A = this chain, B = another copy of it.
Amino acid sequence: MIYDKRLDQFQVGQTNKYNVFRCLIREGPINRAAIAKRLHLSIPTVMAIVDELYEKKMIRSAGKIEAGVGKQPEILGIEPEHFFYVGVDIGRSTLRIVIHNAIGTEIAVMNEFTGDTFPAKEFISRLQLKVVNFIEVQGIEIAKILGVGFAMPALMEQGTGRVIFAPDFGWTDIPLQDWLQGGLPYPVLVRNSTQAMGVYENFVTALEEKGATLCVNLGYGIGAAIIIGEELLEGTGGISGELGHCVVDRNGPLCKCGNSGCLEAVASGEAIAHQAQTIISHHAQSRIAELCQGNITRIDAKMVFEAAEGGDGMALKILQTAAVNIGIGVSLGVNILDPSRVVLCGGLMRNGPWFLDMIRSSMEEHLVARSSRSLVVAAGASDEYSAAKGAARILMNTLWARRELPI
């Protein structure tokens, strides 16, 4: 933008109103004078806004302060059922839905087996029905739903919610957002799962913090989300954060993307399982062989972690190598972005803290200018609903930025 956005009286008013609303959500119940003080606004300005929100049944009285003499100030709170917003995580194995009320509380969650995802059109029809039914079962009117944010594990086109490629779903070039919108009576938005997860992790752990967060999703695949301040860096084509396809070992195994030695090809859940399968098929001296009860195809990353925790040397070695590679890969991201925080989440992180420690050690070795950094490397919230909640949050952030809340 060459010129600063032109400001006018209407925007001044809207900004004040949105700030009062946010203050009521974040700091309420609260009285008018406290809002005015917090936001550096005049009491008459706050009173006028509060009157308007009252009229729209957006806020309610939460009683009076019982203190001192004279007139007692009225405490105000948001009406939690004034509106709702929904997040859906279209996971390859599990489908998850979360409904939030106006103050952000999760009032209902559900998860079920995702089932068959092919053909896409049929899957999407079933998905629409599930979302509509789950909202209906909660007794919420359609008009009160601000929208539904979907998280999809796919390469997405920026802004349009079109799936370019979803390898685990067998989908190529599917206009997912348009198709979903076609059968749903609420606004719909689709974003990449890892980006949604990153937005949620940033929200729960850094509400007031500045700086950038690199959120790395270590699961069956590997991806990352970059959040700068409170904004997701989507990238020009919506495909930022492809940490999984950064080469960490150019002599390493071939990756699905066609390159060799991508982080995903050497350290993802899939890669860990594959390495264990290969080793066990040649070498039975491991607890992994017992855990899979002789059926090598049943070996997954979880089993390798279980064996390692049981003291199995072979499993530990596989995971140690994965952790070193993850440390190299994450260091690439840190060297380039200089974030204030790395949040590691996803399936691989739902094991002992020793795996995080291994990754940290590898990062210590591979970061440049270690001593000048004030970097926190932490495990994520490990909430199985984080992608769904993140998608809901992206939807709300979008409505907020566009000033499209019903206030």
Chain B nearest CB from A399 CB (Å) reads: 14
Closest residue on chain B to residue A158 by CB atoms: B338
Chain B nearest CB from A9 CB (Å) reads: 8
Bound-complex Cα distance A233 to B41 (A): 32
- Chain B residues within 8 Å of A368, by CB: 239, 242, 245, 257, 259, 262
- Cβ–Cβ contact B336 & A246, under 8 A: yes
Closest residue on chain B to residue A38 by CB atoms: B3
- Cβ–Cβ contact A236 & B375, under 8 A: yes
User: Does A65 count as interface, using CB distance less than 8 angstroms?
Assistant: no
The stretch from A13-21, A130-138, A275-283 touching chain B is A13-21
User: Does A337 count as interface, using CB distance less than 8 angstroms?
Assistant: yes
Bound-complex Cα distance A208 to B3 (A): 10
Query: Which of B8, B39, B331, B337 touches A235 (beta carbons < 8 Å)?
Result: B337
- Cβ–Cβ contact B335 & A238, under 8 A: no
User: Does A249 count as interface, using CB distance less than 8 angstroms?
Assistant: yes
User: Does A212 count as interface, using CB distance less than 8 angstroms?
Assistant: yes
- Cβ–Cβ contact A239 & B23, under 8 A: no
- Cβ–Cβ contact A2 & B26, under 8 A: yes
- Cβ–Cβ contact B23 & A16, under 8 A: no
Known contacts A12-B7, A228-B228, A251-B251; A2/B208 CB under 8 A: yes
Bound-complex Cα distance A4 to B15 (A): 7
- Chain B residues within 8 Å of A7, by CB: 7, 11-12, 15-16
- Chain B residues within 8 Å of A372, by CB: 155, 157, 164, 237, 239
- Cβ–Cβ contact A336 & B339, under 8 A: no
Closest residue on chain B to residue A376 by CB atoms: B236
- Chain B residues within 8 Å of A251, by CB: 251
User: Does A22 count as interface, using CB distance less than 8 angstroms?
Assistant: yes
- Cβ–Cβ contact A235 & B247, under 8 A: no
- Cβ–Cβ contact A19 & B6, under 8 A: yes
User: Does A369 count as interface, using CB distance less than 8 angstroms?
Assistant: yes
List A residues 231-283 near B (Cβ within 8 Å): 233-243, 245-251, 257, 259, 262
User: Does A51 count as interface, using CB distance less than 8 angstroms?
Assistant: no
Q: Mark A204-238, 1 if CB is under 8 A from B, else 0.
A: 00011001100000000000101011100111111
Most B Cβ at <10 Å: residue of A26, A157, A240, A374 = A240
- Chain B residues within 8 Å of A332, by CB: 246-247, 332, 336
- Cβ–Cβ contact B247 & A366, under 8 A: yes
Closest residue on chain B to residue A41 by CB atoms: B6
- Cβ–Cβ contact A240 & B338, under 8 A: yes
Chain B nearest CB from A253 CB (Å) reads: 15
User: Does A153 count as interface, using CB distance less than 8 angstroms?
Assistant: no
Q: A8-B12, A246-B332 are known contacts; what are 17 more A-B pairs with Cβ within 8 Å? A: A2-B22, A12-B12, A157-B372, A224-B336, A228-B228, A236-B373, A237-B372, A239-B373, A241-B336, A242-B368, A247-B332, A249-B250, A251-B251, A259-B365, A332-B336, A333-B336, A336-B337
4 nearest A-B pairs in the assembled complex, by CB-CB distance: A235-B338, A245-B368, A240-B338, A236-B340
User: Can you name 10 A-B residue pairings with CB atoms under 8 Å?
Assistant: A2-B207, A7-B12, A7-B15, A157-B372, A239-B372, A242-B369, A243-B336, A245-B368, A247-B328, A249-B250
